[in-house]
Amino acid sequence: MKELKGNTVTRILVSLMLVIVMVQSCSKDLPEPYNPVLQLEIDLKLIDAYVAANNLTVEIEPNSKMRYIINEDGNDIEAASGDTVYVNYELSLLDGTFVDTSDEQKARDNNIFNENRNYVPFGFIIGRGMVIPGFEIGTLLLEEEGAGTFIIPSVYGYANSASGIIPANSNLIFKIAITTINK
């Protein structure tokens, strides 16, 4: 077996050290992996600060910890998995940015009107994953003809993905009014 000369060993060690330093410095540029449990803690702190700053009295949905207000009681008909639900809604961010609505006049009033869109109640089937989880959770807290405001943590919204003008990890405020539940 051939013996390596001291100069060769030194070059190998220096090369290995350079590779290690380069790998470590590059790893600092990588984002932290998404942690929904940690993100929920961050979301709830921001939401609770919003609730306090706006002097809101909210209820807390026990499983999701979503904050909500029932604005109008319904007619005792509740949605269940498999039901088709039709709702009017408004969507905004905690900073007040108005994002979307099913109501034409509200779209016009908030300068988001789109003439190529139909402004009608939005329909979806409960339990089919057709909407973000927080929207479905909020809808299930209402009765037909009822209305509520739901402050949805980002983990039950679009999570760490942006959607249109909604930045990643955005908490959402949905005002939802159920017009019809088809069993």
- CB 181: neighbour CB atoms within 10 A? 22
End-to-end CA distance of the chain: 82
Q: Which is nearest to 178 in space by CA: 148, 153, 156, 158?
A: 148
Strands (E), the chain: 59-60, 67-72, 84-93, 98-101, 122-125, 147-152, 172-182
* Predicted local distance difference test score (pLDDT) of residue 32: 82
Question: How does DSSP assign 87-98, residue by residue?
Answer: EEEEEEETT--E
- CB 179: neighbour CB atoms within 10 A? 16
The CA R_g of the chain, rounded to the nearest whole Å, is: 25
Cα 174 from Cα 183, distance rounded (Å): 24
Q: Which residues in the chain land under pLDDT 50?
A: 1-2, 8-10, 12-21
Strand pairing category for 172-182 and 84-93: antiparallel
φ, ψ at 162 (rounded to 5°): -80, 155
Cα 132 from Cα 130, distance rounded (Å): 7
Cα 32 from Cα 23, distance rounded (Å): 16
